[in-house]
Amino acid sequence: MTDCIFCSIIAGKIPSQKVYEDEYVYAFRDISPQAPVHILIVPKVHIESATNINSDNAYLVSKCFEAITKIAESENLNDGFRVITNSGKDAGQTVFHLHFHLLGGRPFGAGLV
Ligand code: 5GP
Ligand code: ZN
């Protein structure tokens, strides 16, 4: 999709720190990390947000989570991690290409689930 920053990253038009890639999924370090490990996992296909997941594209969510498991292992997140997806204005979604934040490397404690 034109004008989508994550589509441009996936296409290599905007540089990123890639940590994982397969046929369906691309993962790269967040430009403004909020934890020692902060990685964005995105489907290569442009899906705007969680509200646009449907029976045709839901397998891509599964592919993202399969990637998350592999990345958590390679990043040594043996003590656990948190996965967040923001959907829409109230959640603070700023990039409208479905993505999962993988956060780890420190305890998060209570609050916000
Ligand atoms: P959202 O707020 O939509 O859930 O998350 C968007 C995330 O994308 C933010 O954490 C932000 O730091 C990250 N981000 C925005 N632009 C870029 C970019 O050009 N490169 C990288 N690596 N991350 C970005
Ligand atoms: Zn996109």
| Average pLDDT per consecutive 10 residues, the chain (113 residues; last block may be shorter) | 92 98 98 98 98 98 98 98 97 98 95 85
Asked if 64 and 25 touch (Cβ cutoff 8 Å), the reply is: yes
For ligand 1, atom 17: residue with the closest CA: 31
Q: Half-sphere exposure of 37 toward its Cβ, with a 13 Å CA cutoff?
A: 24
Handedness of CA 14, 74, 23, 68 (dihedral sign): negative
Distance 5 CA to ligand 1 centre (A): 9
Distance 43 CA to ligand 2 centre (A): 9
Give residue 34's pLDDT: 96
Does the pTM exceed 0.95? Answer: yes
Give residue 113's pLDDT: 85
Give residue 1's pLDDT: 65
Give residue 104's pLDDT: 98
Give residue 85's pLDDT: 98
Q: Which residues are catalytic?
A: 99
Q: Identify the three-state secondary structure at position 67.
A: helix
